[in-house]
Amino acid sequence: MADQKQFKPLEGIRVVEFSHMIFGPCCGLFLGLLGAEVIKVEPPGGDKTRDLTGMGASFFPTFNRGKKSVTIDMKTPEGARAIDKLLASSDILIENFRDQSLPKMGLEPEHLKVKYPGLITVSCKGFLEGPYKNRSALDEVVQMMTGLAYMTGPPGNPLRIGSSANDIMGGLFGAYSAVAALREREQTGEGRNIRIGLFENSLLLVAQHMVQFEMLGVEPEPMPNRAFSWPVYDIFQTADGREIFVGAVTDGQWEVLCRILEKDELLNDERLQTRMDQINARYWTKPIFTEAIKSFEFDWLSLEFQKAGIPYAPVARPAQMYDDPQAQAAGGLPISTFENGKQIRVPGMPIEIDNNRVGKDFDIPGVGQDNDSILTALGFDKNFMREATGQKR
């Protein structure tokens, strides 16, 4: 069986990344996990994302693993020349600057297409073409704009989802599109200018709710207040005080759940003989299930539900995933090492190829740690490198 490290379909592809925070770095990360060489270009002193605290402290190490770091002072002639040679040697450019900033940096896609016809540019932006194109955006901004926050929180309390899902998913669309453009380039020899929009990504995430309105003419309620399509699809508390989600979404699951919970009388109730009967009766059957589940301990229920094929889950916290056997299985939590030797475990790609997980232990680059190796290979000497990288003495 092929070893997972042999699955590197993008080996030999060079990616240059000018980006920060999550959206652009995710695009580079996903390409790197498929074997591409990803060179992160940082300003002298490093990407400011490195210095974030609190919730932002995890951004840089999570989404910049496995990359090379080069510091370039793009305001100097030497820096501009270094970027020119670097792009001439590259296959893909990732950027997430505002459109208005690109001409000053010489990175506007139309200019790059002329100068480097084989280069594929991936521009990670807030919006695609349209009246909002030049507006600033963040993940939370577009969640509010598209109704995703409205659907997530309870009525009257819009709430962003508990992840930077648009940034991460947008980065995935960037990588997906870049791989497709590489395939096309094999036939044409020409690159493409790709633009990914956070707003449009969030629209895709709420598509099912938009289409529900389109088809039925009724606006869907926020998820905490939604109209249910299943008889049981709720969070309950067990006898030992743990929370458990339980679903019964088929006729068979309804019957099995009633028998496990010793509620056979529900099976014989004339008011509960069809799926719609069971759904419409949720207002009085849910309290029955609540009391029944509260009489059993979590571990016993978990074992019975697993044997019977009942969908269930503990209500867990992200930190608990480090102890979860499925999360730990088969290299699912690769180790990444900082320049100072500190190590962290980060979830890997949710992909298996030939029964092996994709990805590996990816380290976190120090600021400018690859200046010498990258710039020397491009033909620059030490004096030039000091000027180009902002390390003047």
Question: Which residues carry out catalysis?
Answer: 167
Phi, psi values for residue 52, rounded to 5°? -65, 150
Q: Residue holding tokens 């069809």?
A: 274
Q: Which of 19, 80, 16, 13 is nearest to 374 (CA)?
A: 16
CB distance 89 to 116 below 8 Å: no
Residues in contact with 236: Cβ distance below 8 Å, sequence separation at least 6, in sequence order: 243, 244, 245, 246, 289, 290, 293, 294
Q: Residue holding tokens 């094929």?
A: 309
Q: How many CA atoms lie within 13 A of 286 on its CB side?
A: 17
